[in-house]
Structure 1
Amino acid sequence: MGGHTNTEEEISVTDPNKNGVKTLGIKLPPELHAQFALVAQLDGISLNDAALRAVELYVATKKEEPDFAQRAAAALAEIEKEAAARRGAIEGLFGTNPEQVAEAAKPATSRSRKAGTEG
């Protein structure tokens, strides 16, 4: 597959949680694209539907891998660690009181208007 010119395809994948779509652009070598298009045509489905099925199969296959849940848990732990660090940075700037943080986040112009000092 090295050295082949790639063809870009735009695939829209429906996100059931948001009632919308996300667009995924993929690059395929011409031979694979031709085979993919032929298989989809023989199945009587669009390239979009074929790609959606392929993505669903990929996700289902990955979920069955023995170490996948462990890797997902590690990724979640990293997300939580980063969130805690960011929370700590914000609390360091504005204090640990949630009301203090909310007050500090208000635009300065709205406080000026309330005080009648806007010029």
Structure 2
Amino acid sequence: MKTLAIRLDEDLHTRLTMLSKLAGTTVTDTIRTAIEQHLTALASDPAITAKAQELTAEIEKEAAQQRQALAALIGSTTTSSPSAATARPGRSAKR
């Protein structure tokens, strides 16, 4: 679990404290619930989903460029399979 410090103006802090007390919960639990609800709303927002898809495409493009750069650096355009990479020298990966 992470600890987070936030700054609130006095009026907002007073409202938070009073409403939490009236609801029979702690300020921390009220904040945690509010954050969870807000994040759920953001995650279902079509604009956020579109931005996430754009970011995913950008990450994939950058990863492909990095793979190409590494392949050019080592002089190979193919990647080795995990079994070939872990085979001991002098032994065949297949038996």
Gaps of 5+ in 2: 81-95
- Structure 1 vs Structure 2 CA RMSD: 2.2
CA distance in 1, matches of 2:35, 2:10: 20
State the one-letter code of the partner of 2:12: L
Gaps of 5+ in 1: 1-20, 100-119
Structure 1 residues 95 and 61: CA distance shift in structure 2, 3 A:
same
Higher strand share: 1
State the one-letter code of the partner of 1:50: T
Partner-residue secondary structure (3-state), 2:46: coil
State the one-letter code of the partner of 2:61: K
State the 1:92 CA deviation.
3.4
State the one-letter code of the partner of 2:71: E
Structure 1 residues 93 and 23: CA distance shift in structure 2, 3 A:
farther
- Which structure 2 residues correspond to residues 47-66 of structure 1 after superposition, within 5 A? 47-66=27-46
Structure 1 residues 80 and 43: CA distance shift in structure 2, 3 A:
same
CA distance in 1, matches of 2:25, 2:75: 57
Partner-residue secondary structure (3-state), 1:90: helix
TM-score when normalising by structure 1: 0.53
- What residue is the counterpart of 1:81 in the other structure? 61
Higher helix share: 2
Identity among equivalent pairs (%): 33
Residue 33 (structure 1) aligned to one of 7, 13, 29: 13
Task: Considering Cα pairs closer than 8 Å and 6+ residues apart, tell me whether 1 or 2 has the greater RCO.
Answer: 1
CA distance in 2, matches of 1:22, 1:83: 30
Partner-residue secondary structure (3-state), 1:28: coil
How many residue pairs get aligned? The number is 79
CA distance in 2, matches of 1:44, 1:86: 53
Per-residue deviation, residues 71-106 of structure 1 (Å, max 9, x unmatched): 21112112222222333333333344556xxxxxxx
